[in-house]
Copies of this chain bind each other. A is one copy, B any other.
Amino acid sequence: MSQLVYNDDIKIIKGSITAPQGFLAAGEHTGIKKRKKDLTLVKSDVPAAAAGTFTQNLVKAPCVVRNKNLIANKINGIVINSGVANACTGETGARNNELMAKTYAECLNADKSSVLTASTGLIGTQLPMDTLATGIKNLYSLINNDFASAGNAAEGIMTTDTFPKEIAVETKIGNKTVRFGGIAKGSGMIHPNMATMLAFITTDADIERSLLQKALSESVDDSYNMISVDGDTSTNDMVIVLANKKAGNKPIIAEDEDYKKFKEALHYVNINLAKQIVTDGEGVTRFMEVHVKGAVTKQDAKSIAKSIINSNLVKTAIFGSDANWGRIICAAGYSGAKFTPAGASIEFSSTAGAIITFMRGEPVVFDEEKALQVLKEKEIKILLTLEDGKAEAIARGCDLSYEYVKINGEYRT
């Protein structure tokens, strides 16, 4: 999937989560955080089919547990707060999560089992429920389908993110134009496992729920689940997609050509948001893409790519523009995947050119000046070619900087 060639019908359009027909949103500061936006509402005009993937962390926030139970329902809306993760908050936290859903359900005049919730921020702190309940009611009066409201919604879910993460695309399914919109947040505790940080995607496509879930799960595996900022899998990760049929396409009920086009557009959105998240990783100065080719199995390729992207020693070398390729082969070696070191080759590349440092198990004498030029660029590609098979995978991540340490040494204060 990650090497998917997208069909030409996919076009990026302006806006994000309200771009598909029948979706509205709002985002505002309500008082959970000191100054920044901390609450987001998403609404579907009509009940929408929903699919989701959720954190594999054993310690799950109440919103994760609750959404997993409700995801097969038709969904009318999602309420998301930032600033407080409402994780590890015991029974009080579970009650508060339920109350958050109930308050928004009352605004929507809907059953609370059709409302999903999400929280992100500090673990172990209780939600300020009076502030939140008042905030939801006030914010609902601002809900709209314009670009500004979608932008506010993208801001309302941010924590240490430095920019909001949005995208919208349209494609043709049959003779109908179908739209997809998405928002996501980073940017620390990012090492998704079967799910991810928060991402919310809307589409006006008409698609059967089990196929919606299948398309989402497969896409997430190759997008969010292949990025890492710091190797920490959060307690609150989730990706939710809502599909409300407003595009009027012939219902997708089988894995046919229409399904394929749907999935390609959905995956385009997910890859784009995943890239935005790593580009905005905490303290990031360089973006890193690790491409592993020639592995025996796809899982081997993935394990190796993730092991490299996640190595503190590789990350600090990239921060220091140092072509220290030994750390790359070392990280591949402890990934748990099998491969033949004697057949391994490593190349660094960027817009400034490419440099080979290791060729079929032997070190290559390379031009250090040229290597420095290649590695001074903002986006670095690392290609590890093996000679064991034909499977490949791409992982995306970022460097490890002084700023990351600073941000995370001072997070609560």
Residues of chain A at the chain B interface (Cβ within 8 Å): 56-60, 85, 87-92, 122-126, 188-189, 191, 193, 230-235, 310-313, 316-317, 319-320, 322-327, 329-335, 337-339, 341-342, 357-358, 361-363, 400-402, 404-406, 408-413
Contact = CB atoms under 8 A, between A and B. Distances in A.
Contacts of A324: 123, 411-412
B409 A334 contact: no
A283 to B, nearest CB: 9
A90 B340 CA distance: 12
Closest 3 CB pairs of A and B: A123-B326, A320-B409, A59-B333
A211 to B, nearest CB: 30
B189 A404 contact: no
Given A88-B326, A312-B408, A320-B408, A231 B231 contact: yes
A235 B313 CA distance: 13
A314 to B, nearest CB: 8
A318 B391 CA distance: 40
B90 A410 contact: no
A363 B311 contact: no
A329 B312 CA distance: 22
Contact of A329 (B59, B325, B361): B59
A89 B57 contact: no
B231 A330 contact: no
Nearest to A336: B58
B126 A90 contact: no
22 contacts: A56-B334, A58-B333, A58-B337, A59-B341, A87-B330, A89-B362, A89-B363, A90-B362, A91-B362, A122-B326, A123-B326, A125-B363, A191-B334, A230-B312, A232-B311, A232-B313, A234-B330, A235-B329, A312-B312, A312-B400, A316-B405, A405-B405
A229 to B, nearest CB: 9
A124 B405 contact: no
Nearest to A340: B58
Given A316-B405, A341-B58, A330 B235 contact: yes
Contacts of A124: 325-326, 329, 357-358, 363
Contacts of A319: 405, 409
Contacts of A362: 89-92
A361 B401 CA distance: 34
A320 B123 contact: no
A162 B230 CA distance: 27
Given A57-B333, A232-B312, 4 more contacts: A123-B327, A123-B329, A232-B334, A402-B402
A402 to B, nearest CB: 5
Contacts of A357: 124
A200 B362 CA distance: 29
Contacts of A339: 58
A321 to B, nearest CB: 8
Contact of A405 (B91, B189, B231, B400): B400
A311 B88 contact: no
A234 B326 CA distance: 10
Contact of A231 (B189, B234, B312, B335): B312
Contact of A401 (B89, B233, B322, B405): B405
